[in-house]
Structure 1
Amino acid sequence: MDDYSQKLKVCGHPIRLKLLCMISKQEDPCVSELWVCLNQPQPVISQHLAVLKDKGIVQSEVKGNKRTYSIVDPFVQRIVDSILPVAEKAM
């Protein structure tokens, strides 16, 4: 339960939750696409992505000159999948 609690805490930040929803619905989103869509400074988005990556929720991959992100935690992916229909209306 502690592991799930920590994941929920990390994902509960509004910007991180939006990032997870965007990562889930886009194919190979990169940082520049994410910060432009969220209307946040690039360093802010990078810091939130670093937290998600540090907790093993997302992973990054370098493709050409871009770093792309994907959700690798199945628990978090199920949560995002369940809220994505509602979140898309709010974004």
Structure 2
Amino acid sequence: MNQFQMATYQTDPKIFEEKAELLKVLGHPVRLCIVKNLMERKSANVTQIQNCLNAPQSTISQHLAKLRTAGIIEGRREGTEIHYSVVDEKVKRLIEVLFS
């Protein structure tokens, strides 16, 4: 291995921690399903997500909060509803690869 190749592998451990945390958030089947569903629909409110997953609204809300905190999704208010969408482009590419 030459000096250039060795330098490529010397990376800040913080980057690995951040990537591992992202994978933990996406590693739950319900959250993975939510992200995949939001990518297919472009956006959805809690009721639409709940109907798709057949899970209680409180469960969906908890998972949405984790995805929001991780910066994977955003919510925008439309009247009395909040519509969620995936905003992290790296996550979009990752999901596309996972389900290709």
Both proteins in one fold, TM over 0.5:
yes
3-state SS, counterpart of residue 44 of structure 2: coil
1:4-41 alpha-carbon deviations (Å, 9 max, x no partner): 11001110000000000001000321110001110000
TM norm structure 1: 0.86
3-state SS, counterpart of residue 93 of structure 2: helix
- Kindly report which structure 2 residues correspond to 1:59-74, keeping only aligned pairs within 5 A, or say none: 59-74=74-89
1:5 aligns with 2:20: yes
1:16 to 15, 31, 36: 31
Structure 1 outlier segments of 4+, above 4 Å: none
Task: Name the % identity.
Answer: 35
Partner Cα distance (1:84, 1:35) in 2 = 21
What is the root-mean-square deviation in Å for CA atoms of aligned residues? 1.1
Given residue 54 of structure 1, which amino acid in structure 2 is its aligned partner? Answer: T
TM norm structure 2: 0.79
2:72 to 57, 74, 88: 57
Deviates more, 1:32-41 or 1:74-83: 74-83
Partner Cα distance (2:60, 2:84) in 1 = 12
- Structure 1 residue runs of 5 or longer lacking an equivalent are 86-91
Computing the radius of gyration from Cα coordinates, the structure with the larger value is: 2
Q: Which has the higher contact order (CA 8 A, sep 6+)?
A: 1
Number of equivalent positions: 85
3-state SS, counterpart of residue 23 of structure 2: helix
- Structure 2 residue runs of 5 or longer lacking an equivalent are 1-15
